Structure formats: structure tokens, C-alpha cells
Amino acid sequence: MRIRKKLLVLHTGFTVVLGAVLLLSIRPVGSEIVRMTTDHAARATIALAIDHEAAPNPGATLERGDAKSLGITDADAARMTEGEIIKLSNPGDHSEVRIGAWDEVKQHFVVAASSQDSTKGVISRLYTFLIIAILVIYVLVALAIEFLVLPRHVYQPIRRMHKADLALQEGRREQEIIPEKEIPSDEFGEIMHSRNESIQRLRAQEHELTSTMSRLETIAADLKQKNALIETAQRNLADQDRLASLGVMSAGLAHEMNTPLSVLKGAVEGIAEKPDTPVPNWQAALMLRVIGRLERLSDGLLDFARARPANTAPVRISEIVNEAWTLVHIDRAAKGVEFVSTLNQSTIINGDADRLTQVFVNLLRNSVDAMDGAGRIDVSCELTKHDERDWLVIRVANNGPRIAPDILPRLFEPFESTKLDDQGTGLGLAIAEGIIREHGGFIVARNLPDRGCVFEISLPTDAPKGAEGGDPVSTGSLEDDQ
């Protein structure tokens, strides 16, 4: 309901209830007045008839006679003969009051009857006047409230706030604040003041937010420019690092080739001194091992220096790891090594299968060599989230000896190895780190608390879930027969 209708209903209901309560309160008083007036008229009529033999009062009747003719009971007659004026019962007409007395002079009974109709008529007219007065007062009050009080003190403030709210919704900022001269000094005024303060605080916060956004845009542009400079510097540093790595590799390679070249030189010099002497089998086998050593050094150097993009396709990590373990198991004396893989068969990522196999071959071979062919290797994976990207983390852990603290920071540098013998070149972990970096990931190594170490390979993936619990982690499709 609108405000005006609500006030009209409330005011009318209040007036009706007030009039009803007033009439109900006056009704017992009116009845008592009617009774007392009728009784008084009857008594006055009897008094005048006995003392002065006057005619009855208007509205009253007078009867004389014996008790039987007047319908007086013996008990009432006995009381009246003793001088009492009593009220008699009137079984026929309840609207009349009958008063009886004994006339000592004339020796008969006198009965006066007075009707209540005239008095009730007066009371009814009083009720009618009261109702009319209530209605007139209601109309006057309603008109005063409607035309004098409500328009100025209720309707006008409400319309003003509604107008200001429409301006706020439509974006007319010059009209959304209510002027101080239009704000009354009552509860509506307090609401208007509170509204104006809230809007002013909101506008101040908007201005501050706009200024902050402008500053952020400036900072973002500056950061973008600085990022471009940093990327350029990183590319330059990468080129410098590659040159430095090539220098380190050259020095390491020269150092590594000295021993096999010295052995090969001695064997060749012996053959040159005695060309007619057959070459012993052991010397030929030694020369073959030395040549194989030089070939492995050359292949490792080529793999490390080669900068070709990865040929990516959907691959199953479990198949890559199992293939790598098969190669390591054949190449190394790993019969005493327990290999445990908890990789999910449905875990799929995009990658170069051959190069990823090379990564795990290097890691597994390094673990087997570190444990001297006896121990346990555990391979597991899980899905994590970092920098708002999903990453598949693959862990290769062994229970062999821990990595020396002084070697751990330089473990993935070229020729940094603890087993630079005829089975190692010192390039395996460096090659693995380069391949993982080409896939957009990274690899780290750390020692376990009690014994052994773990290599963690982190590869990016766009799949939201599934590395654990049997759900596939896939950025592409892979047929079942692959």
C-alpha cells in the first residue's frame, strides 16, 4: 500500500475503535441515568399525590385503590402500611417503574408508574450527537493531517528522497545529493543526512579507486616495459651462459679425453715400434673400450650442445618410465635393485617421448650407479598448482647414499659427477635438465631426511586434475593401442 492509503486506514481504524470504546463506556452510565430518572419521577408523583393531591408529573400515571385491585402482594402491602415507599414489580411491562405507598389520610394505597421511553429517547439523542461529533472531529482531523501535516512533513521528504535516488540510479551526480535547505529537522532529515554522507563517502572511494587504477595501469605499463628489458637481458645471459658452458665443457672435455687418448697413444706407439708383431687381444679390447669412451664423450657433448625444439605429442608417463627402466636394467647390473612405480596408466601429457625417455634413463642410471646395483627406486607423481598453472610432479627416489652437500648445488652442471669413469661422462644430468627445460619444466634434486635422495621433475599441464586417484591428466588425446 502507498503511504497515504496506509495512514488513511490507520487513522480511520483508530477513530472507529476510539468511538466504539467511548460508546461502550457511556452505555452503562446512560442505563443508570434512565433508571434513576424514571424512579425519581415515580417517587415525586407519589409524594405530590399524597401531600398535595396534585396531578401526576408528565410521563407518569397515578392509581389509587386497595391492594388487590392494584396488584400489590400482601408482603408489599404490609411494608407500605408501615410507612415505606417501595418499588413494585411490573411483570407486564419492564419499561415502566412502579412505586407504591400507603395514604394514611384516605386509607388506601397509591401506585405511581413512570415510563423509561422518554428518558431513553434523550439518551439515544445523546448517543447520536456523540457519534456525529466523533465523525465531525475525525473528518476535521483527517483533513488537517492530509492537507496541512502530511504534505509538508511526510510526502514532500519522501518525494525528495525518491527524486534523489532516481538521479543516483541514472548517474545525474549533480542531483543525487539533497540540498541542506530541503532537509527537515526530524527523523526524515536524519535519514537524508545519513544518505548524503553515504553517497559522498562512496564517491570519495570511487575517486580513490579510479586514481589507484590509473596508477596501477601506469605501473603495469612500466612493468611490461621492464619485463621486455628483462627478457632481452635473459636472452643475452642465456647466450653468455651457453658460451660459458661451452668453455667449461671444452675444459672438461679436454680433461676427460686426456686419459683415453694417452692410453690409445701408448698402444699406437707400441704398434708403430713393432709393426710386424701381432696386437694382443687384451690390447685390442683396451683400444676398443677407449674408443667407445671417446664416442660417448662426443655423443654427450652433441646432445648437450644441440638446441632443437622438442617434438611433442600426447604420451603416457608410465610407458616412458617403464621403457627407461628396461634400457637401464639391460645396460647396468641392476638385478639387486627393486624398482617400484606407482604411476597411473592414464596419466598423459604432451612431450617428446624419445627425449623424455633419455631423461629417465639418465636419472635411473644415476640412481643405480649411486646404489652400486643394490637398493630400491620408487617412482611416483602428483598434480600440483603453482602460479595459476597445473604442474605434474614426477619423483624418482632411491635409498642409496645421499648427495654430498658441496655437489648438490652444482649437480646439473656439465661434467659435475662423482663417477667420471668408463661408465660416466658427467653430462647425463646436464642433458636431462636441458630436455626438461625445453619442455617448459624444471628439475631439482634434494636429499631425503634419513637416507637416499629424490629427483623431482615438474612439467606443465593444462588438465585440472587426475594425476592421482585414477583420473587422466591430459593435454591431448592418445589412442589405446599406443
Helical segments of 112-155, H only: 117-144, 150
> Which residue in this structure is represented by grid cell 554522507?
197
Q: Are 116 and 136 in contact (CB under 8 A)?
A: no
Pull the grid cell for residue 164. Answer: 534523489
DSSP symbol at 70: T
How would you write the pLDDT of the chain (482 residues) with one tens digit per residue?
A: 466 677 778 778 887 887 788 777 777 777 777 667 767 766 776 676 666 555 555 666 777 888 777 777 778 788 777 777 777 766 555 567 777 788 777 778 888 777 666 677 777 887 788 888 888 888 888 788 778 777 777 778 888 888 888 888 888 888 888 888 888 888 888 888 898 889 889 889 988 998 898 889 889 888 888 888 888 787 777 667 666 666 655 655 665 566 567 767 777 887 888 888 787 887 777 778 768 767 766 766 666 555 555 578 899 999 999 988 887 876 666 778 899 999 988 888 888 888 888 889 889 988 888 888 788 999 999 988 877 788 999 999 999 888 888 888 888 877 665 543 334 556 778 878 888 888 888 999 999 888 889 999 999 886 434 344 333 344 333 443 33
End-to-end CA distance of the chain: 74
Model pLDDT, residue 66: 82
Model pLDDT, residue 339: 92
Q: Are 84 and 100 in contact (CB under 8 A)?
A: no
Q: How many residues does the chain have?
A: 482
Q: Are 62 and 110 in contact (CB under 8 A)?
A: yes
Pull the grid cell for residue 65. Answer: 385503590
Q: Are 218 and 199 in contact (CB under 8 A)?
A: no
Q: For residues 463 and 347, what is the distance between their CA atoms, to the nearest angstrom?
A: 10
Mention every residue, 6+ apart, whose C-beta is less than 8 A from residue 386. Answer: 458
Q: For residues 429 and 444, what is the distance between their CA atoms, to the nearest angstrom?
A: 10
CB atoms near residue 362 (< 10 Å): 21
Q: Are 443 and 455 in contact (CB under 8 A)?
A: yes
Mention every residue, 6+ apart, whose C-beta is less than 8 A from residue 281. Answer: none
Q: Count H helices, E strands: the chain?
A: 10, 11
Closest CA to 203 of 164, 232, 230, 177: 177
Q: For residues 263 and 268, what is the distance between their CA atoms, to the nearest angstrom?
A: 9
- What are the backbone angles phi and psi of residue 338, rounded to the nearest 5°? -90, 120
Closest CA to 466 of 317, 334, 312, 329: 317
Mention every residue, 6+ apart, whose C-beta is less than 8 A from residue 257. Answer: 294, 297
CB atoms near residue 229 (< 10 Å): 10
Closest CA to 434 of 409, 405, 401, 412: 412
In DSSP notation, 397-447 reads EE-SPPPPTTTGGGTTSTT--S--STT--S-HHHHHHHHHHHTT-EEEEEE
Pull the grid cell for residue 47. Answer: 409524594
CB atoms near residue 367 (< 10 Å): 28
Model pLDDT, residue 393: 93
CA distances from 238 to 88, 232, 266, 308, 409 (A): 132, 10, 41, 15, 19
Helix (H, G, I), strand (E, B) or coil at 392: strand
CA angle 407, 413, 416 (to 5 degrees): 50
Question: How many angstroms from the chain centroid is the CA of residue 305?
Answer: 53
Q: Are 59 and 115 in contact (CB under 8 A)?
A: yes
DSSP symbol at 470: T
CB atoms near residue 272 (< 10 Å): 8
H or E, element range at 377? strand 374-386
Q: Are 127 and 23 in contact (CB under 8 A)?
A: yes
Q: Are 130 and 138 in contact (CB under 8 A)?
A: no
Q: For residues 349 and 316, what is the distance between their CA atoms, to the nearest angstrom?
A: 7
CATH number (3.40.50.10680, 3.30.420.40, 3.30.565.10, 3.30.930.10) of 310-482 reads 3.30.565.10
Domain ranges of the chain: 3-138, 310-482
Torsion of CA 203, 206, 210, 215, to 10 degrees: 110
Rg (CA), the chain: 59
